[in-house]
Amino acid sequence: MTETNRTESEFVKEITPKSQDYSQWYVDVIRKAELMDYAPVKGCMVIRPYGYAIWERVQEGLDRRFKATGHMNAYFPMFIPESFLLKEAEHVEGFAPECAWVTVGGGEQLSERLAIRPTSETIICSMYAKWIKSYRDLPVLINQWANVVRWEKSVRPFLRTTEFLWQEGHTAHRTAAEAEAETARMLEVYRDFVETDLAIPVIAGRKTEKEKFAGAVATYSIEALMGDGKALQAGTSHYLGDRFARGFGIQFLDEDNTLKYVHQTSWGMSTRIIGALIMVHGDDRGLVLPPKVAPYQAVIVPIAPTKERETVISAAAGLHDRLTATVRVTLDDRAEYTPGWKFNEWEMRGVPLRIEIGPRDIKNNQCVLVRRDSGEKTAVPVDGIEDAVAKTLADIQRALFDRAKRFMDENTHRADTLAELREIVETKRGFVIGGWCGDPDCEAKVKDETGATIRNIPFTAPAAAARCVCCGGEAKHTVYFARSY
Amino acid sequence: MTETNRTESEFVKEITPKSQDYSQWYVDVIRKAELMDYAPVKGCMVIRPYGYAIWERVQEGLDRRFKATGHMNAYFPMFIPESFLLKEAEHVEGFAPECAWVTVGGGEQLSERLAIRPTSETIICSMYAKWIKSYRDLPVLINQWANVVRWEKSVRPFLRTTEFLWQEGHTAHRTAAEAEAETARMLEVYRDFVETDLAIPVIAGRKTEKEKFAGAVATYSIEALMGDGKALQAGTSHYLGDRFARGFGIQFLDEDNTLKYVHQTSWGMSTRIIGALIMVHGDDRGLVLPPKVAPYQAVIVPIAPTKERETVISAAAGLHDRLTATVRVTLDDRAEYTPGWKFNEWEMRGVPLRIEIGPRDIKNNQCVLVRRDSGEKTAVPVDGIEDAVAKTLADIQRALFDRAKRFMDENTHRADTLAELREIVETKRGFVIGGWCGDPDCEAKVKDETGATIRNIPFTAPAAAARCVCCGGEAKHTVYFARSY
């Protein structure tokens, strides 16, 4: 799954150790594993084949879940007339400053400039207003896989780029309760996908008024903890109420023969989740990919002395043929690289399991499984290899989640005062649980003084805090604070 | 797979018969089957869920074939700096007039305006120049699924819209011969997909100089014949030689230690193929979809008198559960519509096979299969229903291809003179095989006087023509002429 057979010289430089410079480590891993490259267009990146193969796995995992919950995909234009963005006041305020504008098309100045979608609520609502007439037309459950553009000043691969890929769900419902249930359902789909497939534990909860999506009544998020102790918002689900419906006139005739506005949701997950995957599981040797989303779950490396090369390659090929029905497996039979070089290469690329086979293994009718997460080596009989590989992959998937969960738990602290919160954020980092009175001024002050924001108000509340970390007043919520990406 | 439960009133208007007004028939079918809708942005369309579900099948069929031939997907930015387009003279001449330009981003006027990609050769070549250093880096075999924009004055759903979806393959090779072989291989992939999965017969061949891709050395196409006798270019594969490599400096150190330019190809197929699917197979009752790309291959319609409703619905549900592992099947158990209404509905949506089950069928442990293509009804035992359905679907797939092939053959004529060619194009329509001396002036004259262009110079030559239809000079090629979409 390398799109190029790279020259050895590209591997001369080592990956900067995490502990030395986390940001540089992140960029090194991405560059060496050929996940992306900087494009010659400001703020844009190229997703290279190995990175895109991970995205395809993400798409598959999400798309399957969307369809299982009754959603269908569609495609809406990426051009949004300026007048559309203006129809929802908070929405335009939030997004207009980040827009890229098309002003010339087909050699002519346009009479109305067109934004490249930063998100598609407005263009989609304009269509829903045409399609939805009766309560029998509801619910409308549509998702879209698309590129979006938000003009960014500073860029970080996968985490923040001017153009990125995502999916955006947009649904319309008969009642507020149904829309709220959908908002919760899709957040749960995200949680399940991220925890089950990406092996990343998350905190699910509600965003504060200040942090919510521009135009939403309420935003819910899942928040993950990166290896450097910073939080990352991994997915969001918005309850839009009837705000957009009023802006775009999406009304239906209900069974009681009265005209009503629909209630809506939207929800999205983007290529930034690949950044989370790298940061949660990666180590100083490179990527570590959970088996469920690894482009290759296993790589077979023949250990072939020259005179026995043919025998070993043939045994390795047999192993490959045998496993290919149940595992995403590749055989690295390149003669021009040593086994040691290949070990490094595939470890750097995060392949969960290496399968070594050499002359002695062939004699013993066995091969050796080497786990990427733990380095553990086990000799296993070739008979029943399918089951051994499947079991090991399941173990790795579980071990990665457990390790990440332990890291998150160990890096979740409590603070009672602003001084404590600042101390933790600056030294230990991680999540900080604390009380909040609900006042946006306290929220802003915490951010100003510590750089930490309220990540969310968790659904599953930890032991309640009595006092607001900031003002010492009565705590209305017990929340997660953290610095974040 | 309806995203809305539509009101009956939408069905009041009939589909205009093909014979009465083909263009109107086409638009009626698309609108009624909810394949697309016009967007409130000039020249843009919304691909609705049922239309997008067809596109997902197309993506699946192509993507599988691309991967089987060694290609990987990636993603490149949609913004192309103006200076990039200027690097290949023919290319910019061909595409610049159709570009949409971003001139403002993040609230500021850009110093260089950015085209939304009309095609991605230039941005991709700029990356290949970074990635390719050695002969060991070759070949590079990358595909991209993306949206592209070409500013269009007049629009036709699926066939010609300002923004559309497509895939574009971009490969780089060590030698011209390898690149030429790739060009041929990918045209063959298209032919196989279109004939096998879409059941649309095509003519494969080379485009004339005049009709080739802007910047290519040679363009190859597959051409299909629509129900109204007009041709449609269904896919193209371009041999780019080293033209882009020279423009972008894509050089590699070959084994002989000399620097060489790579040889490239590009190839694409777009959502316009859905237009072909509609026009080749559709009839006056609506869509007719080949089983391989039908979102639903079969629909189960229970024929349930009120007092036996529960028994029949339950039997239908059993049938659904039984078939769901092997067939894309849906059960239409809506109580508010009559069976007759449902028959029309699903016929209009082109579902290849209807499965009816009523009280008498249950008694006889059978159900009734009704083919969309022929209307043929067959009672079959419930035991072994999986095989009967699979066999019928295979029969339908074959029958659709055979019918389309017969239509194409019957509508392929020969002409010896310009007068004959004009006569055929204006009365019988279809493909016209004729001789061509190779002079672009003759090609232009034919187009001016008949509206027909040379679709391609076929690989599998029909009986050779001796004289150019236009000038009567010696024929260098025997070509396919037609008016086209």
Is the bond into B139 cis (omega within 30 degrees of 0)? yes
Whether A101 and B105 lie within 8 Å, measured CB to CB? yes
Residue A238 is inside which H or E element, if any? strand A231-241
- Cβ-based contacts of A106 with chain B (< 8 Å): 97-100, 151-153
Whether B3 and A141 lie within 8 Å, measured CB to CB? yes
Q: What average pLDDT does range A154-163 have in this prediction? A: 94
- Provide the 3-class DSSP secondary structure of residue B155: coil
pLDDT band with cut points at 50, 70 and 90 for residue A467: very high
Q: What average pLDDT does range B347-356 have in this prediction? A: 98
Q: Which of B101, B142, B158, B252 to mutate to test the interface with A (most CBs of A within 10 A)?
A: B101
**Residue of chain A with shortest Cα separation from B63:** A56
User: Does residue B6 surpass a pLDDT of 70?
Assistant: no
Q: Is residue A291 part of a domain?
A: no
* Rounded CA separation B56/B473 (Å): 48
pLDDT band with cut points at 50, 70 and 90 for residue B8: very low
Query: Of the candidates A367, A394, A421, which is a domain's last residue?
Result: A394
Half-sphere exposure of B123 (CA within 13 A, CB side): 28
pLDDT digits (tens, 9 = 90+) for A314-337: 999 999 999 999 999 999 999 989
Write the CATH number for B300.
3.40.50.800
User: Does residue B152 surpass a pLDDT of 90?
Assistant: no
Same domain, A314 and A437: no
Q: What is the pLDDT of residue B13?
A: 67
Q: Which of B1, B4, B11, B324 to mutate to test the interface with A (most CBs of A within 10 A)?
A: B4
Q: Is residue B1 part of a domain?
A: no
- Provide the 3-class DSSP secondary structure of residue A388: helix
- CA B75, distance to chain mean position in Å, is 22
**Residue of chain A with shortest Cα separation from B162:** A77
Which of B4, B56, B123 is facing A73, going by the closest CB pair?
B56
Structure tokens at B95: 């595409």
Whether A44 and B79 lie within 8 Å, measured CB to CB? yes
**Residue of chain A with shortest Cα separation from B95:** A106
Q: What is the pLDDT of residue B88?
A: 80
User: Does residue A357 surpass a pLDDT of 70?
Assistant: yes
pLDDT band with cut points at 50, 70 and 90 for residue A375: very high
Q: What is the pLDDT of residue B363?
A: 95
User: Does residue A385 surpass a pLDDT of 80?
Assistant: yes
Q: What average pLDDT does range B3-24 have in this prediction? A: 69
What type of residue is B200?
I
What's phi and psi for B372, nearest 5 deg? Answer: -70, -35
Same domain, A458 and A320: no
Total domains, chain A: 3
* Rounded CA separation B197/B394 (Å): 11
Write the CATH number for A450.
3.30.110.30
Q: What is the pLDDT of residue A306?
A: 85
- Cβ-based contacts of A174 with chain B (< 8 Å): none
Q: Which of A6, A47, A75 to mutate to test the interface with B (most CBs of B within 10 A)?
A: A75
pLDDT digits (tens, 9 = 90+) for B396-436: 999 999 999 999 999 999 999 999 999 999 999 999 999 99
Same domain, B275 and B301: no
Q: How close, in Å, is residue B254 to chain A by CA atoms?
A: 13
User: Does residue B3 surpass a pLDDT of 80?
Assistant: no
A97/B169: higher pLDDT: B169
What's phi and psi for B268, nearest 5 deg? Answer: -150, 150
* Rounded CA separation B357/A47 (Å): 50
* Rounded CA separation A286/A29 (Å): 5
Q: Is residue B449 part of a domain?
A: yes
Looking at B99-217, which runs of residues are DSSP E strands? Answer: 100-105, 108-116, 140-149, 163-173, 203-206
pLDDT digits (tens, 9 = 90+) for A17-44: 999 999 999 999 999 999 999 999 989 9
Q: How close, in Å, is residue B205 to chain A by CA atoms?
A: 30
Contact between A55 and A275 (Cβ < 8 Å)? no
Q: Is residue A404 part of a domain?
A: no
Give the list of residues 6+ apart from residue B134 with CB closer than 8 angstroms, or none: A7, B252, B253
Which of B6, B41, B147 is facing A147, going by the closest CB pair?
B147
Whether A73 and B53 lie within 8 Å, measured CB to CB? yes
Give the list of residues 6+ apart from residue B336 with CB closer than 8 angstroms, or none: none
Same domain, B422 and B384: no
- Cβ-based contacts of B45 with chain A (< 8 Å): 77
Pairing of strands B72-73, B140-149: parallel
**Residue of chain A with shortest Cα separation from B134:** A7
User: Does residue A76 surpass a pLDDT of 50?
Assistant: yes
Q: Is residue A125 part of a domain?
A: yes
Q: What is the pLDDT of residue A388?
A: 97
Q: What is the pLDDT of residue B100?
A: 96
pLDDT digits (tens, 9 = 90+) for B97-126: 899 999 999 999 999 999 999 999 999 999
User: Does residue B90 surpass a pLDDT of 90?
Assistant: no
Q: Residue B358 sits in which domain range?
A: 296-395
**Residue of chain A with shortest Cα separation from B172:** A4
- Cβ-based contacts of A72 with chain B (< 8 Å): 1, 3, 49, 52-53
**Residue of chain A with shortest Cα separation from B163:** A77
* Rounded CA separation A76/A84 (Å): 14
Query: Of the candidates B395, B426, B461, which is a domain's last residue?
Result: B395
Q: Which of A154-163, A227-236, B84-93, B456-465 has the lowest mean pLDDT?
A: B84-93
Pairing of strands A329-331, A298-302: parallel
pLDDT digits (tens, 9 = 90+) for B287-306: 999 999 999 999 999 998 88
User: Does residue A12 surpass a pLDDT of 60?
Assistant: no
For residues B317-339, one letter each, b for 16 or more C-beta atoms within 10 angstroms of the residue's C-beta and e for the rest, the string is eebbeebeeebbbbbbbeeeeee
Q: How close, in Å, is residue B109 to chain A by CA atoms?
A: 10
Q: What is the pLDDT of residue B306?
A: 85
User: Does residue A5 surpass a pLDDT of 80?
Assistant: no
* Rounded CA separation A77/A63 (Å): 20
- Cβ-based contacts of A170 with chain B (< 8 Å): none
Whether B7 and A97 lie within 8 Å, measured CB to CB? no
Q: What average pLDDT does range A457-472 have in this prediction? A: 93
Average pLDDT, chain B: 95
Helix B49-68 × helix B176-196 angle, to 10°: 140
Q: What is the pLDDT of residue A13?
A: 67
Which of B49, B77, B123 is facing A72, going by the closest CB pair?
B49
pLDDT band with cut points at 50, 70 and 90 for residue A159: very high
Same domain, B385 and B417: no
pLDDT band with cut points at 50, 70 and 90 for residue A60: very high
pLDDT band with cut points at 50, 70 and 90 for residue A93: confident
Q: What average pLDDT does range B223-231 have in this prediction? A: 97
Q: How close, in Å, is residue B476 to chain A by CA atoms?
A: 38
Whether B72 and A3 lie within 8 Å, measured CB to CB? yes
Same domain, A269 and A384: no
Backbone Cα Rg of chain B: 25
Same domain, B171 and B210: yes
Q: What is the pLDDT of residue A9?
A: 39
Q: What is the pLDDT of residue B145?
A: 98
Which of B3, B41, B78 is facing A72, going by the closest CB pair?
B3
What type of residue is A81?
P
Q: Which of B56, B75, B112, B127 to mutate to test the interface with A (most CBs of A within 10 A)?
A: B75
pLDDT band with cut points at 50, 70 and 90 for residue A6: very low
- Cβ-based contacts of B3 with chain A (< 8 Å): 72, 74, 140-142
Q: Is residue A399 part of a domain?
A: no
Whether B102 and A116 lie within 8 Å, measured CB to CB? yes
Whether B140 and A3 lie within 8 Å, measured CB to CB? yes
In the β-sheet with A377-381, what is the strand arrangement from edge to edge?
A329-331, A298-302, A353-357, A366-371, A377-381
Same domain, B172 and B244: yes
Structure tokens at B222: 């597959």
Which of A52, A78, A81 is facing B147, going by the closest CB pair?
A78
Same domain, A142 and A215: yes
Same domain, A246 and A306: no
- Which neighbouring-strand residues pair with B265? B171, B239
- Cβ-based contacts of A1 with chain B (< 8 Å): 72
Same domain, B382 and B424: no
Which of A5, A40, A147 is facing B126, going by the closest CB pair?
A40
Q: What average pLDDT does range A176-195 have in this prediction? A: 98
User: Does residue A431 surpass a pLDDT of 80?
Assistant: yes
Same domain, A106 and A65: yes
What's phi and psi for A173, nearest 5 deg? Answer: -135, 165
Long-range contacts for B311-320 (Cβ within 8 Å, ≥24 apart)?
B311/B359, B311/B362, B312/B357, B312/B358, B312/B359, B312/B362, B315/B357, B315/B361, B315/B362, B316/B357, B319/B355, B319/B357, B319/B367, B319/B382, B319/B385
**Residue of chain B with shortest Cα separation from A145:** B146
Query: Of the candidates B336, B368, B395, which is a domain's last residue?
Result: B395
Whether A127 and B74 lie within 8 Å, measured CB to CB? no
Q: Is residue A307 part of a domain?
A: yes
Q: Is residue A185 part of a domain?
A: yes
Whether B142 and A3 lie within 8 Å, measured CB to CB? yes
- Cβ-based contacts of B37 with chain A (< 8 Å): 127, 130-131
| Number of CB pairs, chain A paired with chain B, less than 8 A apart | 192
Q: Which of A41-55, B77-91, B333-347 has the lowest mean pLDDT?
A: B77-91
- Which neighbouring-strand residues pair with A80? A115
- Provide the 3-class DSSP secondary structure of residue B31: helix
**Residue of chain B with shortest Cα separation from A81:** B41
User: Does residue A359 surpass a pLDDT of 50?
Assistant: yes
pLDDT digits (tens, 9 = 90+) for B264-292: 999 999 999 999 999 999 999 999 999 99
Which of B39, B75, B81 is facing A52, going by the closest CB pair?
B75
Whether B52 and A72 lie within 8 Å, measured CB to CB? yes
pLDDT digits (tens, 9 = 90+) for B173-190: 999 999 999 999 999 999
Write the CATH number for A53.
3.30.930.10
- Cβ-based contacts of B133 with chain A (< 8 Å): 7
- Provide the 3-class DSSP secondary structure of residue B330: strand
Whether B76 and A39 lie within 8 Å, measured CB to CB? yes
**Residue of chain A with shortest Cα separation from B56:** A73
Q: What percent of chain B has pLDDT over 70?
A: 97
* Rounded CA separation B416/A171 (Å): 59
Whether B3 and A74 lie within 8 Å, measured CB to CB? yes
Give the list of residues 6+ apart from residue B142 with CB closer than 8 angstroms, or none: A3, A49, B71, B72, B73, B74, B124, B169, B170, B171
Q: What average pLDDT does range A82-91 have in this prediction? A: 86
Whether B102 and A101 lie within 8 Å, measured CB to CB? yes
* Rounded CA separation A18/B464 (Å): 70
Q: Which of B41, B63, B87, B164 to mutate to test the interface with A (most CBs of A within 10 A)?
A: B41
pLDDT digits (tens, 9 = 90+) for B460-470: 988 899 999 99
